[in-house]
Amino acid sequence: MSFDLEQIRNCLLSEPSPGQFVQEEGGEGLALTPAAVLFPIVLRDGGKTVLLTQRTAHLRDHAGQISFPGGRVEDEDLSPIHTALRETEEEIGLARQHVQILGFLPEYRTGTGFRVTPVVGLVQPPFDLTLDPFEVAEAFEVPLDFLLDPVNHKEHSLHYRGALRHFFAMPYGDYFIWGATAGMIRSLTARLGLHPA
């Protein structure tokens, strides 16, 4: 299963659209903090990959989880693109001149009270990364085709805040990709028509 960049570009939103959103289980009715992440598709010679980070274990939000680079919207940010690129530079040192914005996925509303705008961008190697050791334990790449294949999307459940919550995960080697990151990947696969939204 492989998708060319035109197929991906055509399924994305051309502008952020808060009217279109994905709601994570358990987050209904929460006050929402605006945030943005970069969904970075790296154009490797051997095939497209997705650049992900593993958050450090001591962070207050989503400690130890696999995530896209990104974070909360700051007052000086002019748009979700500015937030995503600024946070990406701060977290992993990826300079914005390496990133070409393709479009947006629907806002993703987490069970922990964030409304996240996923900004999909192409990353052109070569590039160097400098990780912020406070926030990022590791940066790594996963083949895009692996993440887009619904066969690799495994259903899980856990008890959280007194209720049984259901979620998808994409185990890849030693990495357990789940939560909002997996939800945003599922949002892309739904828009590509690979499974019902």
3-class SS shares of the chain: helix, strand, coil, % to 5:
20, 40, 40
Q: How far apart are CA 147 and CA 178, in angstroms?
A: 11
Summarised one tens digit per residue, pLDDT across range 104-157 is: 999 999 888 899 999 999 999 999 999 998 889 999 999 999 999 999 998 866
Fill in the amino acid letter for 146. F
Beta bridge partners of 104: 13, 119
Closest CA to 40 of 70, 72, 2, 76: 70
Alpha carbon distance, N-terminus to C-terminus of the chain: 19
Q: What letter does residue 113 receive in the DSSP assignment?
A: S
Q: Are 99 and 136 in contact (CB under 8 A)?
A: no
Rounded to 10 degrees, the C-alpha dihedral 172/174/180/183 comes to 20
Distance set, CA 4 to CA 1, 43, 120, 145, 192 (Å): 10, 11, 14, 10, 11
Q: How far apart are CA 153 and CA 171, in angstroms?
A: 8
- The fraction of the chain above a pLDDT of 70, given in percent, is 88
Q: Which two tokens stand for residue 69?
A: 């680079």
Mean pLDDT over residues 13-25, rounded?
Answer: 84
Summarised one tens digit per residue, pLDDT across range 152-180 is: 998 866 655 566 566 789 999 999 998 89
Summarised one tens digit per residue, pLDDT across range 70-85 is: 999 999 999 999 999 9
The domain ranges of the chain are: 5-144
Rg of the chain (C-alpha set): 16
CATH fourth-level superfamily of 5-144: Nucleoside Triphosphate Pyrophosphohydrolase (3.90.79.10)
